[in-house]
Amino acid sequence: MISQILSAVGAMIFGVAVCAAYFLFSNKLLDAIFPAKEGGDVHRVAVNLRRRGLIRPWLFLGPALFLLAVYLVYPVVATLILSFYGPDGSKFVGGANYVWAFNDTEFRQSIFNNILWLAVVPAACTFFGLVIAVMTDRIWWGNIAKAVIFMPMAISFVGASVIWKFIYEYRGGSDTQIGLLNAVVQLFGGTPEVWITIPFWNNFFLMVMLIWIQTGFAMVILSAALRGISEETIEAAVIDGANGWQIFWKIMVPQVWGTIATVWTTITILVLKVFDIVLTMTNGQWNSMVLANLMFNWMFRGGGDSGRSAVIALVIMAAVTPIMIWNIRRANAETKGR
């Protein structure tokens, strides 16, 4: 045990030190190659300073650009190319993988389920987040309530799976139900079920988990946006005789519309990448497969088929692209406004 800990600590120090050493020594080296000592040749010093100014940004950016290029930019191109090749990436097959995908029942099932996830989860998280933010902002113990609702953000999807599997636990025969959901169903006279094996509806039992995890995120951000609403608009509405419902829908919601859109898109991206929950709860059985898991399966199942999994990855990418373009536009507008 001790030796394991020691080697772990050693590895950590090594990793961080290599990274820090790069920045320190590359900058020292630059200063040494182009000295700019006072009292030297003035012209030379000026030239050296300019050269340093040309090179140093790339020293600062170097590791980041290298990693981004290798881990994110190159794979996008490589995946595109792989999607036209056979299982091991050596034989060109043209559009065969695409034809396969759109005729495959499992693929269509995954697309259907993904659309279901996209329709339900971002909407539910944003709606609950907004409602809870409005309510908790009005009570004195609101911050405690917020901390509790925010807490699942810290829990891994796998941990959440254990938590919710326990809630959905089913025990056959005359055994006492130890899963909370079945116990409640039984209390009200219903029949216990194996919830995560019911086709179609099991999707919703899995979505509940992601909603449970993500509502806190939506709540925190929307709560901050709500605080930014000017008091005067609300007071004016109250004087004009608006009730709470009208204030919420006609005064508050329109003023935080931009934030609602941000929260919605952030959760949408997350939903497209959802992998752990489906893997640990059903592994795609009982018609609960989603794209990310289908892709993972094709990567490793039976030795793997890189062409087919590349097609699935590209479908996910295509779904994200509009959000990416919107993001870049918005960031550009923001930078210009600064």
Partner 1 sequence: MLGTLRRIGPARLFVHFAVLLIVILWLLPTLGIFVTALRDKDQIVVSGWWTAFSGSSQTAAVRLAGPDKAVQDGPNYVIAGTVAGEGNSGNGKIESFGMRVQEPAAYKVGSSADLGNGETLTVNADGSYRYQKNAPFEADARSKRIYLTIATPPQFTLDNYRNVLTGEGIGQSFINSLTVTIPATVIPILIAAFAAYALAWMEFPGRAVLIALVVGLIVVPLQMSLIPLLRIYNEIGQMFGVSSKTYPGIWMAHTAFGLPLAIYLLRNYIAGLPKEIIESARVDGASDFDIFVKIILPLSFPALASFAIFQFLWVWNDLLIAMVFLGTDKDRLVLTAALNALLGSRGGNWEILTASAFVTILIPLLVFFGLQRYLVRGLLSGSVKGG
- Encoding tokens for residue 157? 């999807």
CB of 190 to partner 1, least distance (A): 16
CB of 194 to partner 1, least distance (A): 13
CB of 310 to partner 1, least distance (A): 6
CB of 136 to partner 1, least distance (A): 6
CB of 87 to partner 1, least distance (A): 12
Three-state SS string over the chain comes to CHHHHHHHHHHHHHHHHHHHHHHHHHHHHHHHHCCCCCCCCHHHHHHHHHHHHHHHHHHHHHHHHHHHHHHHHHHHHHHHHHCCECCCCCCECCCHHHHHHHHCHHHHHHHHHHHHHHHHHHHHHHHHHHHHHHHHCCCCCHHHHHHHHHHHHHCCHHHHHHHHHHHCCCCCCCCCCCCHHHHHHHHCCCCCCCHHHCCCHHHHHHHHHHHHHHHHHHHHHHHHHHHCCCHHHHHHHHHCCCCHHHHHHHHHHHHCHHHHHHHHHHHHHHHHCCCHHHHHHCCCCCCCCCHHHHHHHHHHHHHCCHHHHHHHHHHHHHHHHHHHHHHHHHHHHHHHHC
Q: Which is nearer to partner 1, 200 or 332 (CB)?
A: 332
Size of the site for partner 1 (CB under 8 A): 114
Q: Which is nearer to partner 1, 203 or 306 (CB)?
A: 306
CB of 320 to partner 1, least distance (A): 5
79: contact with partner 1 by CB under 8 A = yes
Q: Which is nearer to partner 1, 50 or 200 (CB)?
A: 50
What's the rounded Cα separation, in Å, for the pair 121 and 212? Answer: 10
CB of 105 to partner 1, least distance (A): 21
Window 138-197: residues binding partner 1 (CB under 8 A): 138-139, 142, 145, 147-159, 161-167, 169, 175-180, 183
Q: Which is nearer to partner 1, 74 or 200 (CB)?
A: 74
User: What x-and-dash track marks residues 10-39 binding partner 1 by CB under 8 A?
Assistant: -xx--xx--xx--x---x---x--------
Contact residue for partner 1 among 35, 40, 53, 95 (CB under 8 A): 53
Q: Which is nearer to partner 1, 209 or 287 (CB)?
A: 209
Contact residue for partner 1 among 8, 47, 99, 115 (CB under 8 A): 8
Window 256-285: residues binding partner 1 (CB under 8 A): 256, 258-259, 262-263, 266, 269, 272-273, 275-276, 279-280
Window 90-129: residues binding partner 1 (CB under 8 A): none
Window 199-258: residues binding partner 1 (CB under 8 A): 212, 217, 220-221, 224-225, 228, 244, 256, 258
- Encoding tokens for residue 87? 């299982």
Q: Can you give the C-alpha Rg of the chain in angstroms? A: 27
